[in-house]
Structure 1
Amino acid sequence: MKQQILNKIKAYDTIILHRHGRPDPDAYGSQCGLAEIIMASFPSKKVYRVGQPEESLAFLSDLDEIDDSIYQEALVIVLDTANAPRIDDDRFNLGKELIKIDHHPNNDVYGDIVWVDTNASSTSEMICEFQAEFADELQMTATAARLLFTGIVGDTGRFMFPNTTSRTFSYVSTLASYDFDRSAIFNTMYKKDIRVLRFSGYVLQHFKLSEAGVIYLKITPDLLEQFAISSDEAAMLVNSVAQVEGVKVWAFFVEEPERIRVRIRSKAITINEIAAKYNGGGHNLASGATVYSWAEADCLIADLEAVCQ
């Protein structure tokens, strides 16, 4: 599969890289890291990174705005996106051929070539593997290494999550040999605005912990307005309760105008099947879902409690 992907990259003069909406560091890292590798290895190719920018990740890379006509004879590569509806920028289907590279369960099979590795810590790790396998033809750069390092750090929770393997550390060791400021990455990724920090105090005082070991918090628009934070900023605090003694599974419910977004995390219990039941999915221990009423949210909480028992 990797050889097929390399052959396609060689065959096209124009390559457009997509990733999922509401991007995290791995989405940015794998998308822009692969773009940097392709540009360094094949300077004559036109390589574009598209999607809505995320302000908190703007320090990683600039993105491109392109016309629809550029897709006509282009190879499109979608990274770190399990489900086609989550792909940022609907024009991904306008290209001549489509490749999917991802580490989430392959429940939505799209693309002419599909490379999915659920054993990888991140899609950024997969790009490291791709480059290493064809090191004679694909050039790693300090810029690419910085992007891929950031993606791996994000999806492994600074190497604390169980998806971190000896293979992960091997690739990180190689990336760290390139000249970029790792301290600056950590300082930028994990800095908190004072508004978010104050809201995290509210989170720690008001979460609910059930006897089954389920922590949950319901976040309403009034609460977001009170602390002057966005729904994304609130949802990003989901792991702030991960170290509570006795917790097995934790979930944040963030109410938006037309839905309630749910972030679910677990220490050991598989949760992605429950997430799939509620319009979502993801990894065994880290998933997302969507519900459309607080009554439905309570049903999801009940399902989490049942699996914990």
Structure 2
Amino acid sequence: MISKIMALILQHQRIFVYRHVNPDFDAIGTQSALTAMLRLSFPEKQVIAVGLPKPSLAWISEDMTVEKLPSTVDLTIVVDCANRARIAGPLPVSPTVKIDHHPDLDPYAQLNWVEPQMASCAEMIYKLYQTYPERLKINADIAGKLYAGIIGDTVNFSTTDTTSQTFDVASKLYQLGIDGAKISQQVTAVDLKLSKLMGFVFENIKINQRGLATLVIPQALLRRLQIPWGSEDSIVALPARLKEVKIWLLFIESPEGQYRVHLRSKFVPINAVAQQFGGGGHLLASGTYVKNLQVGEQLIAATNRLLVM
């Protein structure tokens, strides 16, 4: 599979790199690292990252656009995106390549390189480089983007899918000259507004006897704290610190009144429940949207059934 992807990279003069909507550290880190690596390796090619910048992740990259889009003669690569419906930015053609580490429930590209055992998509981009070190170039800046993706998706190497390979890749990125401490600080840093939202989480989260925790964050609160919708990612892992919690659902109200739901679990797989409600993701970290809290109650009930008293 990797050899076929490399052959396509060599064949095409214009390459477009996409990622998923509501990007996290791994999505932006992987997209920007692959874009930068291909530009450095093949300066004669046009390599374009598609999407809109996310202010909270601007320190990784703001180099993306929706003004230039691919045609049928171009190579289109989508990274860190499990299903086609979640691809960010206009996509007027069928994707050529999918590079992803989520369960492959939607093989939407012509070539689908999917490794669910990988803790992050960033590791897969490093694997691509490692397979063709004579053709691909990498530097400290690119390595830093990949490292941000790794520690973002593994929550500083604390998730159950973190492996010895994850640490091996991180070590090799360090050898390329990254400032790992600075990147870790940037990934975990929060401003005063977000710190107040963190306080709200701990003060208002509800935990039942089975260890299921739920919390609704209303749009009115986000407006009062002046936190843009979609910038609340830093709070998603917080309930994991509570000993009583086994699974948690965070419902974040959008400006339009629907709810983005973060489903997380310490040990019990929850991705099947997310799929039942139109979402998906990893075994222990998934997401979906519900149109109202009535549907949200159904999601809570379905999740609660996963926990045996």
Map 1:39-118 → 2, pairs under 5 A = 39-65=39-65, 67-68=67-68, 71-91=71-91, 93-94=92-93, 98-118=96-116
Task: Find out whether 1:197 has 2:195 as its counterpart.
Answer: yes
Q: In 1, are the aligned partners of 2:66 and 2:90 still within 8 Å (CA)?
A: no
Which residue is 1:163 aligned to?
Answer: 161
Match of 1:152 in 2: 150
8 A contact 2:257–2:292 mirrored in 1: no
One-letter amino acid matched to 2:43: P
Contact 1:253-1:262 within 8 A present in 2 as well: yes
Calculate percent identity across the aligned residue pairs: 34
Q: CA deviation at 1:223?
A: 2.4
Tell me what 1:134 maps to: 132
Quote the offset at 1:124 in angstroms.
0.5
Q: Which amino acid aligns with 2:167?
A: F
> Which has the higher mean CA deviation after the structures are superposed, 17-26 or 184-193?
184-193
User: Counterpart of 1:290 in 2: which secondary structure?
Assistant: strand
Alpha-carbon distance, 1:225 to partner: 2.9
Q: Is the CA contact (8 Å cut-off) linking 1:36 and 1:141 kept in structure 2? A: no
Where does the alignment leave 5 or more consecutive residues of structure 1 unmatched?
none
Q: State how far apart, in whole Å, the 2-side matches of 1:227 and 1:64 are.
A: 28
After TM superposition, give the deviation of residue 181 of structure 1 in Å: 2.0
Equivalent residue of 2:125, what SS? helix
Cα deviations by residue, 1:221-245 (Å, 9 ceiling, x for unpaired): 2222333323323454121111212
Q: Measure the CA separation in 2 of the matches of 1:69 and 1:232.
A: 25
C-alpha RMSD over aligned residues: 1.6
Distance 1:180 1:290 in 2: 36
Aligned length: 307
Superposition deviation, residue 272 in structure 1? 0.3
Report the alpha carbon displacement of residue 194 of structure 1 after superposing the two structures with TM: 0.7
SS at match of 1:47: strand
Please give the TM-score of this superposition, normalised by the length of structure 2: 0.94
Query: How far did residue 187 of structure 1 move?
Result: 2.0
Asked if the contact 1:119–1:163 (Cα under 8 Å) also holds between the matched residues in 2, the reply is: yes
TM-score (norm 1): 0.94
Gapped regions of structure 2 (runs ≥ 5): none
Q: Provide the rounded CA distance (Å) in 1 between the counterparts of 2:62 and 2:229.
A: 24
Runs of 4+ aligned structure 1 residues displaced above 6 Å come to none
2:246 counterpart residue number: 248
Moved more, 263-272 or 82-91: 82-91
Distance 2:141 2:14 in 1: 21
Higher helix share: 1
1:184 and 1:232 mapped to 2: Cα distance?
24
**Structure 1 residue 73: Cα displacement:** 2.7
Q: Whole-Å Cα distance in 1 between the matches of residues 260 and 67 of structure 2?
A: 32
Are residues 51 and 251 of structure 1, via their aligned partners in 2, closer, same or farther at CA, if it must alter by over 3 Å? same
